[in-house]
Amino acid sequence: MAPLLPTAGGTGSAASQSNRGEAMAWGLVAGAAAGLVVYFLAAASGAQTSLYSTVRPVTAMTTTTVPMMGRSLRVSASEGSSAGIAAQTQLAAHQVLPDWDSLPVSQGFGWSPMLLILLATAAAAVATFVWSVVKHNNHQEYIALAPHSSESLERRRKLLEKEAEYRRSMGHPGPDQVSAPTSAIPGLRKPVVGGNWKCNPESMADLDGLIANINACDTSKCDLYVCPSPLHVAYCCDKIRNGALITPQNCNFKGCGAFTGEMAVEQMKAMGITQVLIGHSERRGEFGIFPMDNNDTLAIKLKYILDAGMKCVFCIGESKEIRERGLDAVLHEMDVQLRQIYHLLDPAKVVIAYEPVWAIGTGLTATPEDAQATHAGIRQLIAKRASPRVAQAMRIQYGGSANAQNAHALSVMPDIDGFLVGGASLKPEFADIVSAISAAK
């Protein structure tokens, strides 16, 4: 199987040089600004000391009277009788932008104003450069911790490489050396089977027959759940007796309110329901529903469900076109669909249901070996993106036209932990599927 992450490229050096150049530019700007601030502070200090000492106080001057439009104007006699000269003298006393040579030397140290300005400029430039570099590194790590960001894939890859190198230097295996956990450990993951009735059955008599099939299943070695249509949820809650969990086929992500056609988990909890299914391919748009569920809304739904204290069956799967491109393309699509929920995966609260869309309702099914390879790849993704511990305990169901004929061959595969059954859950053979996975594990 090809690597799940891109191979190392040569873009790191160029990106690093670009970041250093940006930091230097910010440093120069900050240095120039600091220099101007010091310059004006020094200018203000000079205007209040040496500059004002060159101007005689107006009150100390001898004055004379100059006639102006019938009134007398008192001006300095020492400057002659010209009013213009007196005005220029008073303007000079308020001059605040001195020449460089007129700035006072700092007392006690002998530092010139120019030296102070240069030191302040250099200090500001260095501080800004260091801050820009540190900020970039922190930002890089922040993006790498956001698995839903496609733009950060290259950065995440580099961080993983650095982590792997460090772990190897310490004598520990890196992330790429973590093998995909399997169910070879006895009792590691209890099998789980779900029956998705979709928009079936048509009559209440048929519904009673389906409920009888569920009640006939042996749940001593296998967890069981059933997904009735919304109209039948309450009825099934009263009639199913063998511990199978009633699991609605969808929910909203806003709670109760003006949401026509939706169900809220608060309503489910009030009925004693503890689990809900989301992300089925038919809710993602396979039968033309619009607006459809997408990866963004499903991530919001999963958080909403878990925050409410409920459990969830989360469906993922690929189209026929993606399957035809090979296993690497399939696993890339699985990574895309899981990217925003890796941090929410709790094996005690979430079950992953892998359902190849091309096999749902078509009678087609993946070979046991192909299904195992896909499940192992999904588990490896979870090990890398979440943790090996989560991956080892996470139950992954197969949902591609499982039936009584292929259930045993699929059940013996180490990474297949159960089934999400569609059409066959409407038939008595559903109990045989439960028995097959129970015996194999």
Q: Catalytic one among 232, 280, 332, 375?
A: 280
For 278, phi and psi rounded to 5 degrees? -140, 160
- Token pair for 430: 């559903």
Helices and strands in the chain, H and E counts:
14, 10
Cis peptide before 191 (omega within 30 of 0): no
- Alpha-carbon separation of residue 35 from 39, 103, 104, 124, 191 (angstroms): 6, 15, 17, 9, 71
Q: Cβ distance 231 to 248 under 8 Å? A: no
Tokens 């001057």 correspond to: 61
Taking the C-alpha atoms of residue 428 and residue 38, their distance in angstroms, rounded to an integer, is 88
Residues 6+ apart with CB under 8 A from 241: 215
Please, where are the H alpha helices in 93-244?
113-144, 153-169, 204-215, 233-239
Query: What 3-state DSSP class applies to 76?
Result: strand
In a 10 Å sphere around its CB, with 0-12 CB exposed, 13-18 middle and 19+ buried, how is residue 27 labelled? Answer: buried
> Helix 113-144 and helix 11-48: axis angle, to 10°?
150
- Does residue 262 carry a catalytic annotation? no
Q: Cβ distance 362 to 162 under 8 Å? A: no
- Does residue 280 carry a catalytic annotation? yes
Q: Catalytic one among 282, 318, 355, 375?
A: 355
Q: Cβ distance 63 to 77 under 8 Å? A: yes
Q: Which residues are catalytic?
A: 280, 355
